[in-house]
Structure 1
């Protein structure tokens, strides 16, 4: 594949519009935000604090259960520091043609340097950097540990080494990698990530904030006591689980509209007979949220055993991101 074609394919990975997600939009994760701010925001704002001995982190690993806000945090960083954001998945840099995957990786980092200050967010990094020796869950989703996969991993590790070498060409180039499976990562990749930040399930205060954020204007109808109850009912839920609860709850009034008969003057009619734009929806209530949780079976997507595995890995290799 020609160099120009490689470059054009990767340019599509640039998030062209600022995500417009602020730190305040990220519920909880106080420690994670502080770690990322020190790693990325400080070097841009206060470059005089860094020299050949005190270097900014080039690669940061975000790990934790699905739906806890890893990609959301990356977008908040890109918004706050106004960096070019590359949003990459394994499919963007894995090719079936021998040698092209390595070229795509090199081209990605070349573009990141051209567009700096830049952040390259690589989601599901375990698909690219699983353990080359196999081991627990070490197989790759893209061909195991064959030569093709080894070459790709090697090239990625070489490029990441450049970010940690203190080369002036790499100043302002950062990588945020995310995974739901930190224990399958190759030790060589894990070593190059600092810090390694655990993005856990939201605590009670974060769940309250998430209900407010996701409910938007309808959230104004919920009292403090309502939100307190909902936070208690959703212990163990991820951020995406709560978003799913809110989505289902906001649809309850629409279902009422489709099943109830409506009074227009003295005439009862179904919704089909109501003139366009004349249908007034019933208000969203706290009962709608609780009904969704109790009757519709919107459950947590993360098991207790999975959480224990994340906590064990954090004790050995990571830092807590919620405290």
Structure 2
């Protein structure tokens, strides 16, 4: 009854926007869906999942953090990790892009932010995931407009209020540009976890999972070669690479013959040569210079992993 009364006091238009476009009712992503990142998963287990599932054990000095920052190069699973956490915790998952919040709801952003945190408290345990948080929490300067400043202030106020009652809300923010974040935001996002490029084991696991979707003819040696060739590739890059390699056998078939194929088994299997060909134009999307920037920031301001 109290919950319905609280919802009734909210701006119904704002509440409807959140319930329809921001609330993710079924993330459905599990740990096993994410290859590699063992240390990251362990850090998230200790800081999020255990405290959510056994809150009585995590009090006092063991109290869980209110805000977590996931940072690193794009295309390496920050959003998937947040969804997996929500699934493992059996929590309500609110997902929003900060850039969309700033642009689409300009003028009403503050009210939307306040309503979001209120609904998260009502639906707790909840996780609020804010992607591209750098577009909302950039370093303050004299040139930023008043609406952006008010939104930033409202977010910081709401984040300060998390954990002040019996509600269980966790804020997970993700960014590809951690060095652009305001210091006030960093002070509140106390746990910072670096999500780097996949290592050889993670690349192999991801590529095996992707290549199960098509018939392939790669020996163990050839597969290991492809894994070595893709050092420096992000998870998104690997997905594009496997997709293009899988298309190579199709491209060899004359257009006039494609409609005559009786079954998918008529298409030849994917071979190592297909990967060699597509590797010529599917290149790493993250430069070595950018990776060095992340490493430098990680050493000075980052956290584990």
Per the normalisation by structure 1, the TM-score is: 0.84
Instruction: Name 1:315's counterpart in structure 2.
Output: 299
Q: Distance in 2 between matches of 1:101 and 1:13?
A: 13
Q: Distance in 1 between matches of 2:263 and 2:219?
A: 29
- Measure how far apart 1:99 and its partner are: 5.1
Listed as ranges, the gaps of 5+ residues in structure 2 are 1-9
Pairing 1:159–2:168 present: no
Listed as ranges, the gaps of 5+ residues in structure 1 are 135-143, 260-269
Aligned residue among 122, 129, 136 for 1:114? 122
Aligned residue among 188, 200, 217 for 1:204? 200
Instruction: Name 1:126's counterpart in structure 2.
Output: 134
Pairing 1:284–2:270 present: yes
Q: Distance in 2 between matches of 1:124 and 1:278?
A: 40
Contact 2:249 2:269 in 1 (8 A): yes
Instruction: Name 1:252's counterpart in structure 2.
Output: 248
- Equivalences for residues 287-302 of structure 1 within 5 A: 287-294=273-280, 297-302=281-286
Contact 1:35 1:195 in 2 (8 A): no
Q: Distance in 2 between matches of 1:53 and 1:146?
A: 39
- Measure how far apart 1:241 and its partner are: 0.5
Q: Distance in 2 between matches of 1:200 and 1:273?
A: 43
Instruction: Name 1:271's counterpart in structure 2.
Output: 257
Bigger Cα Rg:
1
Q: Distance in 2 between matches of 1:22 and 1:97?
A: 32
Contact 1:162 1:170 in 2 (8 A): no
Per the normalisation by structure 2, the TM-score is: 0.89
Structure 1 residues 223 and 129: CA distance shift in structure 2, 3 A: same
Pairing 1:179–2:187 present: no
Instruction: Name 1:35's counterpart in structure 2.
Output: 43
